[in-house]
Amino acid sequence: MITRLSELFLRTLREDPADAEVPSHKLLVRAGYVRRAAPGIYTWLPLGLRTVRNIENVVREEMDAIGGQEMLFPALLPREPYEASDRWTEYGDNLFRLKDRKGADMLLGPTHEEMFTQAVKDMYSSYKDFPVTLYQIQTKYRDEERPRAGVLRGREFTMKDSYSFDMTDEGLDESYARHRKAYQRIFDRLGIDYTICQATSGAMGGSASEEFLAISEVGEDTFVRATDGDYAANVEAVVTQVPEERSIEDQPEAQVHSTPESPTIDTLVEWANEAGMEVDGRKVEASDTLKCMVIKTAQPVADAEDEEREWELAAVLIPGDRALDEKRLEASLEPVEFELASDEDFERNGFLVKGYVGPKALNTNGVKVYADPRVVKGSAWITGADAPNQHVTNLVAGRDFEVDEYIEAAEIKEGDPAPEGQGTLTLERGIELGHIFQLGRKYTEAFNVQILDENGKRAVPTMGSYGIGVTRLLAVLAEQRHDDKGLRWPVEVAPFKVHVAVANKDAAAMEAGKKLVDELDDAGLEVLFDDRPKVSPGVKFKDAELLGMPFAAILGRAFKDGKIELRIRGGETFEVPADQAVDKLLELVREGK
């Protein structure tokens, strides 16, 4: 296929768009791949659409290779199935809800577990029908709180979502393993630099849920890796190592002190050390102090505008050397929502003394106390004494105050111990490309899927759910592979394999260019042909770099000597005799990555 730049629906931009912060977003807009239609909603221009289709095909081939059957659900869905799973409400503000003309509730699908489960229930009834893996490549809608970085986090995006249904847990393990391999093949084929991370806390079993993260500084996910071992996990999944409980007998009494000059953790530590305090024979450190972060929590509601959330006060106790990690807290509380307490909340609840909140007042006033796992029974803390300018020392958990629930909410720090003696943790940033998840029977039970097993008894199949962000993948490729001149697509994904530019006014050069693109086309390559007559060679070269096809053939200065210049995007440039250009390009494309 030949596409002429003189005809292609494209305007490249020399300037970065004002709303773009990350390189992939800037380049995809400047190179005319996408155009913003609304925040987090993008139009795919011809170059962009071809690229998405190519990515889709890689995903499709690998899904087909593990026996997945492609189908397609609507994006516009009725409320009822999502009511059955409770997600109509639990999805909270992220769900796009709408009404049809008769007033019936509808939604735009954020993910389709419900629909697949219901289809299997309606169509299958015997164990002989299982296992089955179904998938779709579908437009998803999520009213993201912070759409960001162009198509990297959109409100409309393309996802490949697949679902496995097995009659046994071993079957699910196999389906999961097959998906894991398929995902590795997909990301390897696309040449993405990625890591596989544990995604849910150990309680669910190590391999039950993993995320594939592209390593990238602009990523919103933080993940950890062990210095001595292969442990890797999303920070949301890191489980704090719980110290041993200490006896509450024989510990010194709690003591209240006046601390007027100590409003922060640092000044509090300074005060304690100046006062000559010690912990186990050493100086007092920030980790000996306890922060009481006041929050409020609420069950999600389906319509934020009509229904008032019923907020309840709560608190999270965290060692003073750590910040509250709101993403970890969110993951721990989900689907319950939270906000930090506002000034009004403090005013309304007189027992909350700002800057000096302590666990005791929380306990006495019935505020739910969540705590970091380090706040074990018998641990002693320096913390607020619930009165202005007063702190208390030796406040012992399980003796002087009670924890209602332990929770993972404290930040993970570089150098924290890794599990199983694998050294310490390092922190890196990544972008979630895909997620594989052993869902189990949550949906099949909610939908009452009953299948007759070998013995004629009813049994409930178990499910896996597996997603890949197809349009996000395109942004990730742009992010990981660009340079300061423009995009640089891998061969499989590039909208065109070869960019041919005529950069010589000689009519013979144009003729030779046409001949070259025809021959490349005959050989089955997709070619972009820069045949624009009145555009300078400099602009053509710049555009070729910006658009990012893996190989360019230039009919320029050397053409008078019968030579064509071949450029590998981001690599070497060399000349070949004109009659060898086709063979050489075919070879490059064949070998290309």
CB of 212 to ligand ATP, least distance (A): 7
Interface segment toward ligand ATP; rule CB under 6 A; list 124-132, 297-305, 432-440, 452-460: 432-440
Nearest of 520, 529, 522 to residue 580 by alpha carbon: 520
Task: Name the residue nearer to ligand ATP (CB basis): 384 or 469.
Answer: 469
Q: Is residue 144 near ligand ATP by the rule CB under 6 A?
A: yes
Residue least distant from ligand ATP (Cβ): 469
Structural contact between residues 94 and 147, judged by C-beta atoms closer than 8 angstroms: no
The span from the CA of 22 to the CA of 15, in Å, is 14
Rg (CA), the chain: 30
In the numeric block, which tokens belong to residue 74? Answer: 């609507």
Nearer to ligand ATP, 150 or 461 (CB): 150
- Stretch near ligand ATP under the rule CB under 6 A, chosen from 129-137, 150-158, 179-187, 523-531: 150-158
Q: By rule CB under 6 A, what string of x and - marks binding of each residue 152-181 to ligand ATP?
A: -xx--x-x----------------------
The 3-class secondary structure across 239-289, one letter per residue, is CCCCCCCCCCCCCCCCEEEECCCCCCHHHHHHHHHHCCCEECCEECCHHHE
Among 472, 481, 488, 569, binds ligand ATP (CB under 6 A): 472
Burial (CB count <10 Å: 0-12, 13-18, 19+), residue 379: buried
Strands 69-70 and 132-141: parallel
219 binds ligand ATP (CB under 6 A): no
Pick 111 or 195: Cβ nearer ligand ATP = 111
Q: Give the integer Cα–Cα distance in Å for 55 and 473.
A: 8
* Residue 314, Cβ density class (10 Å: 0-12 exposed, 13-18 middle, ≥19 buried): buried
| Closest approach of ligand ATP to the CB of residue 186, in Å | 12
One symbol per residue from 377 to 416: x for binding ligand ATP (CB under 6 A), - otherwise; what is it?
----------------------------------------
CA nearest to 179, candidates 134, 237, 219, 224? 134
Question: How open is the CA angle 468-470-471, to the nearest 5 degrees?
Answer: 135
* 328 near ligand ATP, judged by CB under 6 A: no
Nearer to ligand ATP, 196 or 546 (CB): 196
């290779």: which residue's tokens? 65
Residue recorded with tokens 């230039």:
554
Residue 109 CB, nearest distance to ligand ATP (Å)? 12
Span from 58-66, 378-386, 398-406, 433-441 in contact with ligand ATP (CB under 6 A): 433-441
374 binds ligand ATP (CB under 6 A): no
| Residue among 469, 486, 513, 550 that touches ligand ATP (CB under 6 A) | 469
Quote the least distance from Cβ 130 to ligand ATP, whole Å: 24
Q: What is the 3-state secondary structure (H, E, C) of 387-443?
A: CCCEEEEEEEECCCECCCEECCCECCCCCCECHHHCCEEEEEEEEEEEEEEEEECHH
Q: Which stretch binds ligand ATP (CB under 6 A): 115-123, 358-366, 420-428, 466-474?
A: 466-474
Complex with ligand ATP: residue 24 or 379, whichever CB lies closer: 24
Tell me how far, at minimum, the Cβ of 159 lies from ligand ATP, in Å. Answer: 5
287 binds ligand ATP (CB under 6 A): no
Q: With respect to ligand ATP, which residue has the nearer C-beta, 467 or 513?
A: 467
d(CA 88, CA 301) in angstroms, rounded, equals: 9
Rounded to a whole number of angstroms, the minimum distance from the CB of residue 192 to ligand ATP is: 12
User: In the bound complex, what is the minimum distance in angstroms from residue 148's beta carbon to ligand ATP?
Assistant: 9
Residue keyed to tokens 């071992």: 229
Q: In what order do the strands lie in the sheet with 96-99?
A: 76-78, 105-108, 96-99
C-beta of 473: minimal distance to ligand ATP in Å?
Answer: 7
Task: Give dist(CA 533, CA 28) in Å, integer.
Answer: 25
Q: Residues 6 or more apart from 135 whose CB is under 8 A from it?
A: 63, 68, 69, 70, 71, 160, 161, 162, 163, 466
Residue whose entry in the numeric block shows the structure tokens 């509601």: 301
| Candidate segments 77-85, 274-282, 429-437, 567-575, binder of ligand ATP by CB under 6 A | 429-437
Work out how close the CB of 37 gets to ligand ATP at its nearest, in angstroms, rounded to a whole number.
Answer: 15
Out of 337, 432, 479, 565, point to the residue binding ligand ATP (CB under 6 A): 432
CB of 324 to ligand ATP, least distance (A): 19
Angle at 58 between CA 57 and CA 59, to 5 degrees: 90
Establish if 142 lies at the interface with ligand ATP (CB under 6 A). yes
State in angstroms the smallest separation of the CB of 154 from ligand ATP: 4
Backbone angles phi, psi at 525, to 5 degrees: -95, 145
CB of 118 to ligand ATP, least distance (A): 19
| Cβ-contact 359, 369 below 8 angstroms | yes
Interface characters, 76-115, with ligand ATP (x: CB under 6 A): -----------------------------------x----
In the list 353, 397, 433, 449, the residue contacting ligand ATP (rule: CB under 6 A) is 433
Q: How far is the CB of 464 from ligand ATP (least distance, A)?
A: 12
């100086």: which residue's tokens? Answer: 283
Q: How many residues bind ligand ATP (CB under 6 A)?
A: 15
Told to check if 576 binds ligand ATP by CB under 6 A, we report no
Burial of 575 (0-12, 13-18, 19+ CB in 10 A): middle
The residues binding ligand ATP (CB under 6 A) are 111, 142, 144, 153-154, 157, 159, 432-435, 467, 469, 471-472
